[in-house]
A and B are shown apart, each in its own frame.
Chain A
């Protein structure tokens, strides 16, 4: 079945550590790619998106993601995390000619001060 996979369910890091969250998808053809973040008690917010062009996308709060078409991946990175980055992170894929987004199960990030 077509899906979006986030391999890490819970990641625990210390402040200033580097972050990489994996996301793989199984849809063929053209896709739009997204990372959303959900801070505790808040709504889902868009971190960054990729539609076309430069496969390295920069988002808000120092996050970036790299689209590797050959690997069907769109991993999220941040060089140095802060305690305030503690949240749930969701990867989402919009397959071509569809109006919906397909979400992964999410990765919970805990940053220790």
Chain B
């Protein structure tokens, strides 16, 4: 039974570019949340997807957008990258009836240069 898988594991982008990160939830899970973890900080909530819709959003600009597919997998898109977007991006999945028992992926390390 695969856990939460994220791709890619690392990538380097230039300021102003756009990036797409991908997440496959744990089998049986239908809810996906995305978090940004800056160096030395705890994860910060970006948004959560359920039934292909954004259910809740954290304090992040519109440059951050997402999508959830019918198979529950999800993408995080960041436009017009800034140096400050460099961070570890974590995906967490859960089931709708146990939404707070979240399983995390290993993350995508994004470096913006």
Contact = CB atoms under 8 A, between A and B. Distances in A.
Interface of A: 4, 6, 32, 34, 36, 42-46, 49, 51, 90, 92, 94, 98-106
**Most B-side CB within 10 Å, residue of A42, A101, A102:** A101
Contacts of A101: 43, 45, 100, 102
| A-B pairs, 7 with minimum CB distance | A103-B42, A100-B45, A44-B104, A99-B56, A43-B106, A43-B104, A103-B43
B45 A34 contact: no
A92 B44 CA distance: 10
Interface in B93-112: 99-107
B78 interface: no
B102 A43 contact: no
B100 A43 contact: no
Contacts, number: 55
Interface of B: 3-4, 33, 35, 40-45, 48, 55-56, 58, 90, 92, 99-107
Nearest to B104: A44
B56 A98 contact: yes
Contact of A105 (B40, B92, B100): B40
Given A34-B100, A42-B106, A43-B106, A100 B42 contact: no
A104 B104 CA distance: 16
A24 to B, nearest CB: 14
A46 B92 CA distance: 11
Nearest to B105: A43
A105 B42 contact: yes
B56 A100 contact: yes
A2 B40 CA distance: 19
Contact of A44 (B41, B55, B90): B90
**Most A-side CB within 10 Å, residue of B45, B48, B101:** B45
Contacts of A36: 104
Nearest to B37: A103
A99 B104 contact: no
